[in-house]
């Protein structure tokens, strides 16, 4: 069984942005487990290299770590060129500044859209010509339940993730006659550094860490935070050859929070 699993994506090359930690690291590891060669990209090159070495040792596939600042147009083009042709693109990197709407700075708004939306557009545009030459290619954008519903105090994040889902649906229609599918995966609150920051912010208001975690989990009918591995499993499923009829979808991984 293990041998079969490790060959499902054999011969495929995946590029994962924001792969230094959390969901991105889990996705890179899951795709490697299925046999894909993986290029990991993020700003934190030391953490990224550690992940690449770990994945290589666990799954014996080629891994490459590339430093990438998603607010640098030239860097995006250079990294896409250095990575070379790919079969799977996972646009995972994202930021989520938190503030009341009236205190949300325009600089934070622009940074959120630069990283969450514009970089997704730029990476996809850079890799798409090569992906068109593949027999089976996949684009998976990591959005959020914040792209499906609204949340208070994260207006820039919510708006940006709605934009990512809109981009996903539009591009899916443009590419519907090709061998490329385009989908979005929408995690709820997940056990990541981002969630840890939210928990810390809530705790500063006088709550215990346990109470703060419960506040984040209360909208999830299962009453918990999502494991990054669960998000990675959804992404890898969309990347399999048998998922070719699934495109233009925004799939919630949130314990039933969004139905």
What pLDDT shows up at residue 4?
64
Rounded to the nearest 10 degrees, how much is the dihedral formed by the CA atoms of 113, 218, 196, 58? -90
Q: Which residues pair with 185 in a beta bridge?
A: 142, 251
For the chain, list the domains and their CATH numbers.
2-188+228-253 (3.40.50.720), 190-225 (no CATH)
Percentage of the chain with pLDDT > 90? 83
Catalytic residue among 151, 153, 157, 189: 157
Q: Which pair of tokens denotes residue 76?
A: 């995006």
What pLDDT shows up at residue 46?
96
Q: Is the predicted pLDDT of residue 193 greater than 80, yes or no? A: no
Q: What is the pLDDT of residues 22-75, one digit of tens each?
A: 999 999 999 999 999 999 999 999 999 999 999 999 999 999 999 999 999 999
What pLDDT shows up at residue 38?
98
Q: How confident is the model at residue 1 (pLDDT cuts 50, 70, 90)?
A: very low
In 3D space, the residue among 187, 199, 197, 201 whose CA is nearest the CA of residue 258 turns out to be 187
Q: Does 157 participate in catalysis according to the annotation?
A: yes
Q: Are 64 and 46 in contact (CB under 8 A)?
A: no
Q: What is the pLDDT of residues 77-117, one digit of tens each?
A: 999 999 999 999 999 999 998 889 999 999 999 999 999 99
CA-based end-to-end distance of the chain: 34
Q: How confident is the model at residue 221 (pLDDT cuts 50, 70, 90)?
A: very high
Give the mean model confidence (pLDDT) for residues 164-180: 98
Q: Are 155 and 101 in contact (CB under 8 A)?
A: yes
**Which residue did the predictor score with more confidence, 239 or 100?**
239
Q: Is the predicted pLDDT of residue 3 greater than 50, yes or no? A: no
Q: How confident is the model at residue 206 (pLDDT cuts 50, 70, 90)?
A: confident
> Is-above-0.85 flag for pTM?
yes
Per the prediction, the chain carries an average pLDDT of 93
Alpha-carbon distance values, 21 to 70, 98, 199 (Å): 16, 20, 18
What pLDDT shows up at residue 212?
79
What pLDDT shows up at residue 2?
44
What pLDDT shows up at residue 73?
96
């Amino acid at each position: 069984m293990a041998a079969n699993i490790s060959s499902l994506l054999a011969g495929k090359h995946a590029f994962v942005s924001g792969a230094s930690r959390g969901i991105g690291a889990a996705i890179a590891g899951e795709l490697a487990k299925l046999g894909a060669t993986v290029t990991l990209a993020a700003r934190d090159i030391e953490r990224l290299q550690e992940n690449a070495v770990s994945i290589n040792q666990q799954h014996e596939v080629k891994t490459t770590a590339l430093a990438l600042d998603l607010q640098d147009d030239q860097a995006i083009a250079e990294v896409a060129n250095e990575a070379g042709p790919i079969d799977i693109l996972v646009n995972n990197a994202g930021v989520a500044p938190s503030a009341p709407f009236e205190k949300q700075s325009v600089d934070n708004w622009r940074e959120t859209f630069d990283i969450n939306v514009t970089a997704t557009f730029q990476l996809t545009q850079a890799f798409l010509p090569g992906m068109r030459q593949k027999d089976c290619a996949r684009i998976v954008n990591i959005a959020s339940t914040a792209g499906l519903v609204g949340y208070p105090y994260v207006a820039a994040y919510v708006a940006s993730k709605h934009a990512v889902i809109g981009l996903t649906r539009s591009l899916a229609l443009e590419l519907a006659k090709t061998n490329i599918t385009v989908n979005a995966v929408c995690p709820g609150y997940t056990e990541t550094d981002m969630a840890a920051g939210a928990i810390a912010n809530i705790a500063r208001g006088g709550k215990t860490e346990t109470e703060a975690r419960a506040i984040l989990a209360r909208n999830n009918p299962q009453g918990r935070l999502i494991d990054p591995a669960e998000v990675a499993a959804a992404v890898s499923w969309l990347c399999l050859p048998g998922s070719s009829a699934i495109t233009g979808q925004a799939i919630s991984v949130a314990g039933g929070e969004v139905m």
